[in-house]
Amino acid sequence: MNLTQLPLLEQAVFVIAALALMASFALLAQTRLTASIHSFAWQGASVALVTALVASINGIHHLYLSALLTLALKSLVIPWMLHRLVRRLEMEQQVESITHPALVVLTGAALVIFAYWVALPIERLEMAGTRNIIAVSLSIVLLGLWMMIARHQVVAQVLGFMSMENGLFLAAVASTRGMPLVVELGVAFDVLVAAVLFGVFFFHIHESIESLDVDRLNRLTEQEQQP
């Protein structure tokens, strides 16, 4: 199957899915907090757009609703909540230092190759026109996981966790034409509740160690805290 033989709308699905993958890499490499929250919002918006396009290609009406839900939650409400938290903790200017930025990104690239290799047998099932996206969504999941490992900042780790959820949602939409609406609603509110809980945790961590750098939690004594 060649890309150019597909209708333009399905090509647009591929382009936007690729943009979601790019947003994952932007999240991985971005050291400024506000900018990474913006990248997360863009990823949410592109996943919502993919959902809407799949809905219009296949004429599935309940997918429009989940697209709208994704857009509202993942690209507006959760980024807004995170923004407010960051502003309240006065960390807008903070730049996290990644020790080996190039290495982190190249490992991400290796993960994409791994995801493609894993997804190859799935793609051979010839399920639907959008099956190629499974590899992309699997790599978004792996990149989110890698982000939680590689970064020390709590906010960055939470963003990695939420982008994993974006990847799962993308896989569900692209391969099975979306989950039942009840499941989607449940997952969406799960994510929302998680975001609220994470906010509470941010405050607690910030109060107890005066930083959001999780590596500091490894130190047991307070003597080490130098100015």
Partner 1 sequence: MSPAGWGLALVQTLLFLLGAPLLAGWVKRVKSRLQNRRGPSLLQPYQDLGKLFAKEALMAHSASPLFRAAPYIVFGSTLVAVSIIPLLAVSLPTAAVADVIVLVGFLALARFFLALAGMDVGTAFGGMGASREMLVSALAEPAMLMAVFTLAMSAQSTNLSSVVQFNLDAGLALRPSFMFALMGLVLVAIAETGRIPVDNPATHLELTMIHEAMILEYSGRHLALMEWAAQLKLMLYGVLISVVFLPWGIATRMTPSALALAFGVLILKLMVLWLVLAVTETGLAKMRLFRAPQYLNLAFLLTLLGLFSHVMLEAGT
Question: What DSSP assignment string belongs to 88-110?
Answer: HTT-TT-BPPPS-HHHHHHHHHH
Residue 15 in contact with partner 1, rule: CB under 8 A: yes
Residue 135 in contact with partner 1, rule: CB under 8 A: yes
Q: Which residues are CB-contacts of 136 (< 8 A; sequence separation ≥ 6)?
A: 17, 18, 20, 21, 115, 170
The enclosing H or E element of 196 equals: helix 181-209
The smaller minimum CB distance to partner 1, of residues 78 and 119, is found at 119
Separation in Å, CA 74 to CA 126, 139, 211: 30, 19, 26
State the number of binding residues for partner 1 (CB under 8 A).
29
Residue 101 in contact with partner 1, rule: CB under 8 A: yes
The smaller minimum CB distance to partner 1, of residues 123 and 213, is found at 123
Question: What DSSP assignment string belongs to 121-145?
Answer: HHHTT---TTTTHHHHHHHHHHHHH
In angstroms, how far is CA 59 from the centroid of its own chain? 26
Span interacting with partner 1, options 68-76, 116-124, 148-156, 213-221, rule CB under 8 A: 116-124
Residue 81 in contact with partner 1, rule: CB under 8 A: no
- Least distance between partner 1 and beta carbon 6 (Å): 9
Residue from 35, 68, 95, 113 binding partner 1 (CB under 8 A): 113
Q: Exposed (0-12), middle (13-18) or buried (19+): which is 117, by Cβ within 10 Å?
A: exposed
Residue from 58, 94, 96, 116 binding partner 1 (CB under 8 A): 116
Taking residues 174 to 213 in sequence order and writing x for each that binds partner 1 by CB under 8 A, - otherwise, the string is: ----------------------------------------
Distance (Å, whole) CA 211 – CA 206: 5
- Least distance between partner 1 and beta carbon 101 (Å): 7
- Least distance between partner 1 and beta carbon 126 (Å): 9
Residue 12 in contact with partner 1, rule: CB under 8 A: yes
The smaller minimum CB distance to partner 1, of residues 32 and 87, is found at 32
Say how many C-beta atoms besides its own lie within 10 A of residue 36's C-beta.
25
Residue 69 in contact with partner 1, rule: CB under 8 A: no
213 forms bridges with which residues in the sheet?
Answer: 153
Grouping H, G, I as helix, E, B as strand and the rest as coil, residue 224 is: coil
Please report, as ranges, the residues that interact with partner 1 according to CB under 8 A. Answer: 1-4, 8, 11-12, 14-15, 17-19, 21-22, 25, 29, 101-102, 105, 109, 112-113, 116, 123-124, 132-133, 135-136
